[in-house]
A and B are shown apart, each in its own frame.
Chain A
């Protein structure tokens, strides 16, 4: 673990993936956190150059987005300013010893914990509380023509989603994404 003035950075089992804990400064009015700090992130090895940020708002628990990546995968810094999610990252780097392995954890506004990954992961979220806001920064501009994905319920990935299938709502597009078997073959070729 690495600690800076405003953050703790904890390298996870998948190389290039970090759990980030910002420190919270509380006073009578409320609190202040540094949600991102380029020099402290870079000093800890989280080296993305951020050029875009997206924010999703989801009124209902059970909504699912993912698992997504772009043909030139992006580094991503994910946090949950309101509500709670189950956050999933899958290693899609063919040369990685953990290719195909996933990292799952709850992120919430209450804990303030964040996830950061270098380019080379597919990403998905399952909303666990109504009114959840997710903000994520990326190191490239979004290009819809380069979107790819993997099926959330892929049997080989076997992600331990914390809700029953019947309680999970997914878009048609996400439901039609390829299985890991096909996606991983494509990733190997593209390499």
Chain B
């Protein structure tokens, strides 16, 4: 069983799979296509990435690919913890510019489903953090875009002081929401 909780923006789903412990350890069904289909999401995932991040406070994001290379993402953590963020970039959406965030960790087993039309990013809350995310469309460098993670207009409640969050030059150079021509 995977518990599915629609978030403040209903297309964003927080998933919590059951854990089946026994003497050897724990088994978790981390993904079931039919569970997501029943929750209204029926796109197949065609790629999976794994990132390893050495330091706590490292930011990766906020990223998206423009249509027709737009991607939905299913994000989970297999080592450590992250603060995971999705920003609604659909111009006709009543929640345009609004944010859904969740702490995902090995311990809480949570996953975030980030649909097409959202920017996505996370900051690591632990050293040596590993994140796995499934994607519905392949990596397309020419379609890569970004939104500035620290844009105050987004009102993201980062759980670390901004001074403790480190982004690479590329992620620090993305436009703020007001200057972003959203392709969605």
Chain A residues within 8 Å of B, Cβ to Cβ: 27-39, 49-60, 63-65, 81-82, 127, 133, 135, 137, 141-142, 169, 171
Contacts and interface: CB of A to CB of B under 8 A. Distances in A.
B122 to A, nearest CB: 12
A70 B47 CA distance: 25
Contact of B48 (A34, A57, A133): A34
Contacts of A37: 46-48, 138
Contacts, number: 104
B71 interface: no
Interface stretch (B8-16, B30-38, B81-89, B113-121): B30-38
Interface residues of B, number: 34
Question: Which are the 6 A-B pairs with shortest beta-carbon distances?
Answer: A58-B25, A38-B46, A53-B31, A36-B48, A63-B24, A51-B33
A82 B79 contact: yes
Q: Is the interface of A mostly helix, strand, loop or mixed?
A: strand
Interface string B137-150: 01100000000000
Contact of A58 (B24, B45, B132, B168): B24
Contact of A50 (B24, B45, B130): B45
A77 to B, nearest CB: 9
Contacts of B46: 37-39
A54 to B, nearest CB: 5
Given A57-B26, A82-B78, A31 B51 contact: yes
Residue with the greatest number of chain A CB neighbours at <10 A, chosen from B22, B33, B52, B139: B52
Contact of A51 (B32, B130, B139): B32
Contacts of A50: 45
Interface of B: 22-34, 44-55, 58, 60, 78-79, 130, 132, 138-139, 168
Contacts of A53: 29-31
B78 A142 contact: no
Given A32-B52, A133-B79, 20 more contacts: A29-B58, A31-B51, A35-B49, A36-B48, A39-B46, A52-B29, A52-B33, A53-B29, A53-B30, A56-B25, A56-B27, A56-B28, A57-B26, A58-B24, A63-B25, A82-B79, A82-B130, A127-B24, A135-B30, A135-B78
A52 B51 contact: no
